[in-house]
Amino acid sequence: MSEHHPIQDLMNGTMEKIKSMIDANTVVGTPITTPDGTTVIPVSRVTFGFGSGGTDFQSRHSKETTPLSFGGGGAAGVTVTPVCFLVISPTEGTHVLGINAQAVNTADRLVEMIPGAVGKVSSFLAKRMGDDPEETAEELKTNKSETTEP
């Protein structure tokens, strides 16, 4: 008993619209070639969601024998967020050029600040000890890894 119901059309219509907006070219973009032969390929994160629903109901002024009416709706949302660029250079090889997302909460901001803070502490310690700042930074990294090993 495969009875056709209007909710099927509603859901199929919503999914078709999403399919038309999102394809493989949305995630891995069209390659761009520069005059020097470098190829840049954009890579994005795509998230989407959709919902639909409906109901059959008896209209107020209809007779008992009248078929039920259908009311429904659907919605969809799509977000495309650039993540990085894949750069293929004839002279420098291939590398990933990340896009720094802006910190949205305190934890993200702290993570962003750590490299700068380590650099400042290293420079401060190097000046106090009269050492080379790069050597002091390496010593800090070595000491940290030795204390964090199980």
pLDDT at residue number 1: 43
**pTM for the predicted model, two decimal places:** 0.47
Q: Worst-scoring range by mean pLDDT, 31-40, 65-74, 134-143?
A: 134-143
Mean pLDDT estimate for the chain:
75
Buried b (16+ CB within 10 A) or exposed e, 23-61: eeeeeebeeeeeeeeeeeebbbeeeeeeebebeeeeeee
pLDDT in tens, 5-59: 777 887 888 788 777 777 777 788 889 998 989 999 998 888 888 888 888 888 8
pLDDT at residue number 124: 75
pLDDT at residue number 139: 58
